[in-house]
Amino acid sequence: MKQIDKTYDAIIIGAGPAGCTCAQYLRQSDLKVLLLDKNNFPRHKPCAGGITMKTIKHLPINVEHLVQHTARNMKFSFSKDRSVELQHDTGSCVMVIRDEFDNYFFEETLKTGVQFQKISKLKSIKHKDDQLIEVSFDDYLVNAQYIIGADGANSKVRKLSHEKHHLHPVSAYEGKVSRYSEDDAVTEFIFNDSGYAWIFPKLDHYNVGIGNLVNDHNIKKRTKEDLFKFVAKKFNGREIADITAFPIGTEGIGYAAKNNIFLVGDAAGLAETLLGEGIYNAVISGKYAALSIIDSKEGGRSATSIYNSFLRKLSNELTLYSKGAKILYGFPKISYYAMKLWLGEKFMTGYSNGQTLSEIMGKKNSLIN
Ligand SMILES: Cc1cc2nc3c(=O)[nH]c(=O)nc-3n(C[C@H](O)[C@H](O)[C@H](O)COP(=O)(O)OP(=O)(O)OC[C@H]3O[C@@H](n4cnc5c(N)ncnc54)[C@H](O)[C@@H]3O)c2cc1C
């Protein structure tokens, strides 16, 4: 084992949106950051690449040049005859190619002075003393004051350092379908009691996917075959290519960090279960993990307790999504009428104005926006 002599303020494991956001905010206060990932960039991440307006407010990078489409026209379909069409000039979210977004985010993060190392295997995370935590990967041992687990839904950091495991994973398949110039290019969600599907327009193709967001043994798990059938029916014989699948980290309600080891994003299970949005919570959890460390170093409370205050508020927000998901997937007919009569317009306006779900529902916002 080779001991790396330098001691870092933070070691971040995972260079997706959660890890890169955390790294950039830490670097704004000049902290020493080591970022580890098992992949070199660019790398593929299964994702539809929809980034909501509220996410843009917190991103430490400008992504305008990566935007391939803006969701100004949206359709929510509940059955063959029941759909709701909505419009807003700003648009509820922007569409990027996820691999391009992550690669740009990663490269911008390196420019801030973060040290990056590609690793093969994360082996252990142990408290060395009151101050330092020792991380072992490949043939290396390295110390830091804080460890951030930003390694996604299958988090190894979570497995090595937390008792709370995710026992009910949900997942989704996604792929590419050609987009023709005569198409309407509407952003669409399609719901039924066995899950959800989406059609997200990009410049020359649609990202089309299918998945389950509610883990219930009564609900049949979505398969690749379901995606083929969905595309064949919806696109009249057009084919789907480059299909990949991945879990979505959604079991984070009630998660609390411990002893300077923080999980963020999907590693903590912070994606919501209504529409499967995870990038927003990855970004804000990465940001608030960093701000907690910075506040603590400036003489405040312990960083763990500051981060946990944020997580409690985020849990309230996730609970609201989870209640919505129970109605949406359990009672599609009621959901259709609610969307048609008042909720659809409210959602479209709220998302387009960058509001959180609690703000849209008229509650006092539980998160700093
Ligand atoms: C099919 C699909 C479609 C989706 N569509 C959307 C969408 O349109 N909009 C949206 O907001 N959300 C969407 N999501 C959810 C979103 O992709 C995630 O919530 C988001 O990527 C979480 O970001 P993260 O940084 O926490 O983790 P990730 O993006 O998963 O990044 C984790 C990083 O950690 C690295 N890593 C993993 N294991 C290790 C290890 N052992 N050691 C070192 N590094 C490791 C990985 O290489 C990766 O770079 C979708 C998810 C799926 C599966």
Q: What is the pLDDT of residues 172-213, one digit of tens each?
A: 999 999 999 999 899 999 998 778 999 999 999 999 999 998
Atom of ligand 1 nearest to the CA of 41: 49
For the Cβ of 15 lying below 6 angstroms from any atom of ligand 1, the answer is yes
Kindly give the distance from the C-alpha atom of residue 299 to the centroid of ligand 1, in angstroms, as a whole number: 33
For the Cβ of 91 lying below 6 angstroms from any atom of ligand 1, the answer is no
Residues 6+ apart with CB under 8 A from 332: 78, 79, 191, 192, 193
For the Cβ of 282 lying below 6 angstroms from any atom of ligand 1, the answer is yes
Mutate to test the pocket of ligand 1, among 45, 198, 280 (most ligand atoms within 8 A of CB): 45
In the prediction, which pLDDT does 284 show?
98
In the prediction, which pLDDT does 300 show?
76
In the prediction, which pLDDT does 341 show?
96
CATH superfamily of 2-47+99-165+250-330: FAD/NAD(P)-binding domain (3.50.50.60)
Atom of ligand 1 nearest to the CA of 46: 1
In the prediction, which pLDDT does 365 show?
62
Kindly give the distance from the C-alpha atom of residue 275 to the centroid of ligand 1, in angstroms, as a whole number: 15
Q: Where are the domains of the chain?
A: 2-47+99-165+250-330
Q: Are 264 and 311 in contact (CB under 8 A)?
A: no
Task: Measure the CA–CA gap between 99 and 234, rounded to whole angstroms.
Answer: 26
For the Cβ of 277 lying below 6 angstroms from any atom of ligand 1, the answer is yes
The pair of structure tokens assigned to 288 is: 């608030």
Helix axes 98-111, 17-28, angle to 10 degrees: 20
Atom of ligand 1 nearest to the CA of 247: 53
Atom of ligand 1 nearest to the CA of 154: 38
For the Cβ of 198 lying below 6 angstroms from any atom of ligand 1, the answer is no
Q: Are 209 and 48 in contact (CB under 8 A)?
A: yes
pLDDT digits (tens, 9 = 90+) for 131-168: 999 999 999 999 999 999 999 999 999 999 987 778 88
Mutate to test the pocket of ligand 1, among 25, 38, 288 (most ligand atoms within 8 A of CB): 38
The parts of the chain modelled with pLDDT lower than 70 are 365-369
For the Cβ of 276 lying below 6 angstroms from any atom of ligand 1, the answer is yes
Kindly give the distance from the C-alpha atom of residue 16 to the centroid of ligand 1, in angstroms, as a whole number: 6
In the prediction, which pLDDT does 215 show?
75
Residues 6+ apart with CB under 8 A from 104: 61, 63, 66
pTM for this entry? 0.97
Task: Measure the CA–CA gap between 13 and 125, rounded to whole angstroms.
Answer: 11
Task: Measure the CA–CA gap between 79 and 105, rounded to whole angstroms.
Answer: 38
SS (H, E, C) the chain: CEEEEEEEEEEEECCCHHHHHHHHHHHHCCCCEEEEECCCCCCCCCCCCEEEHHHHHHCCCCCHHHCCEECCEEEEECCCCCEEEEECCCCCEEECCHHHHHHHHHHHHHHCCCEEEECCCEEEEEECCCCCEEEEECCEEEEEEEEEECCCCCCHHHHHHCCCCCCCCEEEEEEEEECCCCCCCCEEEEEECCEEEEEEECCCEEEEEEECCCCCCCCCCCCHHHHHHHHHHHCCCCCEEEEEEEEECCCCCCCCCECCEEECHHHHCCCCCCCCCCHHHHHHHHHHHHHHHHHHHCCCCCHHHHHHHHHHHHHHHHHHHHHHHHHHHHCHHHHHHHHHHHHHHHHHHHHHCCCCHHHHCCCCCCCCC
For the Cβ of 170 lying below 6 angstroms from any atom of ligand 1, the answer is no
